[in-house]
Homo-oligomer: A and B are copies of this chain.
Amino acid sequence: MINRLTEKIQKTGAPIVVGLDPMLDYVPEQIQKASFAEYGETLAGAADAIWRFNKEIIDATYDLIPAVKPQVAMYEQFGVEGLQAFQKTVDYCHEKDLVVIGDVKRGDIGSTSAAYAAGHLGKVRVGSQVCSAFNEDFITVNPYLGTDGIKPFVKVCQEEKKGLFILVKTSNPSSGEFQDRLVDGKPLYEHVAEKVAAWGEECMGDSYSYIGAVVGATYPEIGKVLRQVMPKSFILVPGYGAQGGKGKDLVHYFNEDGLGAIVNSSRGIIAAYKQEAYARFGAEHFADASRQAVLDMIADIRGALEGKI
Contacts and interface: CB of A to CB of B under 8 A. Distances in A.
Interface stretch (A3-11, A36-44, A222-230): A36-44
Interface in A164-204: 167, 170-179, 181-184, 188, 191-192, 195
Contacts of A177: 146-147, 195
**Oligomeric state, in number of copies?**
2
A175 B145 CA distance: 5
Nearest to A43: B131
A181 B188 contact: yes
B133 A146 contact: no
A119 B178 contact: no
Contacts of A115: 23, 71, 73-74, 76-77
Chain A contact-residue range equals 35 or more
B126 A42 contact: yes
A24 interface: yes
Interface in A73-105: 73-74, 76-80, 82-84, 87, 105
A171 B42 contact: no
B188 A174 contact: no
Contact of A125 (B24, B74, B173): B24
Interface in A30-55: 32, 36, 41-43, 45-46
Contact of A133 (B21, B77, B142): B77
B144 A167 contact: yes
Q: Which of A107, A131, A179, A188 has the most CB of B within 10 A?
A: A131
A176 B174 CA distance: 23
B191 A174 contact: no
Contact of A73 (B112, B167, B183): B112
Contacts of A111: 23
Given A42-B126, A78-B133, A181-B188, 20 more contacts: A24-B126, A41-B128, A42-B129, A43-B124, A46-B131, A73-B112, A73-B116, A76-B116, A76-B120, A77-B124, A79-B87, A80-B83, A80-B87, A80-B133, A109-B171, A146-B174, A146-B175, A146-B177, A149-B170, A177-B195
